[in-house]
Amino acid sequence: MTVQKLVFIRNKFISCQEFNSKYSWANIPTEEEDERNLPEKCVSIYYSVNIEQQTIEKLYMVSYAPQYKPSFKEISVAWVNEYFAVEPADLLQLDHPEENIIQPGGEIFCLMKEKGEVVGTVAMIIDQEEEGAVELGKMGVAKEFCGKGYAHPLMKEALMWAQKKSFSVVNLHTAAKLIVAVSLYEKYGFKPVPFQAHGHFARVDLLMRLTF
pLDDT digits (tens, 9 = 90+) for 82-105: 999 999 999 999 999 999 999 999
Backbone angles phi, psi at 12, to 5 degrees: -105, 135
Residue 162 φ/ψ region, left for φ over 0, alpha for ψ in the -120 to 50 degree band, beta for the rest = alpha
Q: Is 144 helix (H, G, I), strand (E, B) or coil?
A: helix
CB atoms within 10 A of CB 6: 18
CA 180 distance to own-chain centroid:
16
- Residue in 100, 151, 101, 145 with CA at minimum distance from that of residue 123: 101
Q: What is the mean pLDDT of the chain?
A: 95
Q: What is the pLDDT of residue 36?
A: 86
Q: Which pLDDT band, with edges at 50, 70 and 90, does 109 fall under?
A: very high
Looking at residues 74-83, what average pLDDT do you find?
97
* Per-residue confidence (pLDDT) for residue 17, from 0 to 100: 95
Q: Which residues contact 143 (CB under 8 A, 6 or more apart)?
A: 78, 79, 82
User: 206-211 and 169-174: which strand pairing?
Assistant: antiparallel
pLDDT tens column, 129-162 = 899 999 999 999 999 999 999 999 999 999 999 9
pLDDT of 1: 66
CA distance 160 to 198: 26
Q: What is the pTM of this model?
A: 0.96
Give CA–CA dist 56/46, Å, rounded.
10
pLDDT of residue 138: 97
How far apart CA 113 and CA 126 sit, in angstroms, is 28
Q: What is the pLDDT of residues 30-63, one digit of tens each?
A: 888 888 889 999 999 999 999 999 999 999 999 9
Quote the distance between the C-alpha of residue 190 and its chain's center. 15
For 139-169, give one letter per residue: b (16+ CB within 10 A) or e: bbbbeebeeebbbbbbbbbbbebbeeeebeb
| pLDDT attached to residue 199 | 74
Displacement of CA 125 from its chain's centroid (Å) = 12
Query: What confidence category does residue 198 fall into, taking pLDDT thresholds of 50, 70 and 90?
Result: confident
pLDDT at 128: 85
